[in-house]
Amino acid sequence: MFLTHLACPRCGARHDSEALTNLCSCGSPLLARYDLDAVRAAVTPAALAGRGADLWRYRELLPVRDDAHRVTLGEGWTPLWSADRFGAAIGLDRLLVKDEGLVPTGSFKARGAAVGVSRARELGARHVAMPTNGNAGAAWATYAARGGLRSTIAMPLGAPLITRNEVVAAGGELILVDGLIGDAGKLIAEVVAAGGVFDAGTLREPYRLEGKKTMGYEICEQLGWRVPDVIIYPTGGGVGLIGIHKALEELRSLGWIGDKVPRLVAVQSTGCAPVVRAFEAGERRVTPWADARTVAFGITVPAPLGDELILDALYATGGAAIAVDDAEILADLRAFGAAEGLLLCPEGAACLTAARLLRSSGWLGPSDEVVVLNTGAGIKYPETVASAGA
């Protein structure tokens, strides 16, 4: 393992990666850094082809030193497939879907939980706690149980029922909060302050991001070690988008991909769009969104902690941020299922709506190769089908 330290992207401070760590003293999330020269000497893209079909195939670029601490359920290496019929209907000749609904716990959150729990376990944590909109809590409770750790999960009452049940089934302590994820966060802060519990909230520890960045590695490897023109991602806390951007930077530094930079697109709902509002104003921080609500519950994050990192990724890649309406999300979810046979999660459907609107506006060209992330299994949200008019 080639992890060297943790770095603060805001103030530049360097932190010890061998201690359980949350935020920098300046309040910024921390990023894991690696000796990329050593990685380049140790492994090649060709060598990866013979490895297992999971995210641990990229172990030189992950933070777990001792395999004995690796907590896994086979997460990663999800399919990347073409959506030709739906693409043709919206004017995109090369529309691809990366389907994260096939990982354990049914969402991309399993990637972050696998690496985050593994590293927390390696560094001595025995009890993790976090606020969540649902899927992240389900994943962390599951992987904590797998790794022999306790978990305390707080989520809003409006979170999908299945995610509550996943926490309970994994033996986690579930606390339901009458409010939004920020209210759940306040409760978890009290739990952590009491001592003996590690705060694993979104970007409050540096290793969830490392698991999620493997989506970026996989996209490039599945395309033959090249990048698409555009990657469209549903953005709440933004860890997936930040992680993909980090992965692409690491792969360029390694020389495994060329210099081409895909445009990154952050998708939010018109009912909760703090990143879109900040991006359109050219700002680097968000203003908290009042009265946040959307059918895409996973992206109901009024004030993401990683706002600077999200916006930096969009600006650096010539990307975009777009807010889409719930009615259009549900309509595209239904249309995509009829055309391609896959029931998307509402957050994934939001990305399709964004692709359609960006193509209509001319921001996307007909020949652009566009990767859309479906971040979870649609069967976890059966009510969306009824809402879409089934």
pLDDT of 382: 85
pLDDT at 177: 95
pLDDT score of 389? 55
Q: Is 253 left (phi over 0), alpha (psi -120 to 50) or beta?
A: alpha
pLDDT per residue, tens digit, the chain (390 aa), is: 799 999 999 999 999 999 999 999 999 999 999 999 999 999 999 999 999 999 999 999 999 999 999 999 999 999 999 999 999 999 999 999 999 999 999 999 999 999 999 999 999 999 999 999 999 999 999 999 999 999 999 999 999 999 999 999 999 999 999 999 999 999 999 999 999 999 999 999 999 999 999 999 999 999 999 999 999 999 999 999 999 999 999 999 999 999 999 999 999 999 999 999 999 999 999 999 999 999 999 999 999 999 999 999 999 999 999 999 999 999 999 999 999 999 999 999 999 999 999 999 999 999 999 999 999 999 999 888 776 554
Please, are residues 191 and 349 in contact by the beta-carbon 8 Å criterion? no
Give me 226's structure tokens: 């090249």
Q: Which residues is 136 bridged to in the sheet?
A: none
pTM for the structure as a whole: 0.96
Strands 127-131 and 198-199: parallel
CA 112, 115, 118: angle at the middle one, nearest 5? Answer: 135
**From the CA atom positions of the chain, what is the Rg in Å?**
19
Q: Is 181 within 8 Å of 131 (Cβ atoms)?
A: yes
Residues 307, 330: Cα–Cα separation, whole Å: 27
Please give the pLDDT value at position 67. 95
Specify the pairing of strand 230-234 against strand 263-269: parallel
Strand pairing category for 3-7 and 31-34: antiparallel
Strand partners, 371: 96, 231
For position 334, what pLDDT does the model report?
96
Cβ neighbors of 338 (< 8 A, separation 6 or more) are: none
CB-based contact 144:151 (threshold 8 Å)? yes
- Confidence (pLDDT) at 1: 76
Give the fold, CATH level 3, of 80-107+208-387. Answer: Rossmann fold (3.40.50)
One-letter-per-residue 3-state SS of the chain: CCEEEEECCCCCCEECCCCCCCCCCCCCCCEEEECHHHHHHHCCHHHHCCCCCCHHHHHHHCCCCCHHHCCCCCCCCCCEEECHHHHHHHCCCEEEEEEHHHCHHHECHHHHHHHHHHHHHHCCCCEEEEECCCHHHHHHHHHHHHHCCEEEEEEECCCCHHHHHHHHHCCCEEEEECCCHHHHHHHHHHHHHCCCCEECCCCCCCCHHHHHCHHHHHHHHHCCCCCCCEEEEECCCCHHHHHHHHHHHHHHHHCCCCCCCCEEEEEEECCECHHHHHHHCCCCCCCCCCCCCCCCHHHCCCCCCCHHHHHHHHHHCCCEEEEECHHHHHHHHHHHHHHHCCCECHHHHHHHHHHHHHHHHCCCCCCCEEEEEECEEHHHCCHHHHHCCC
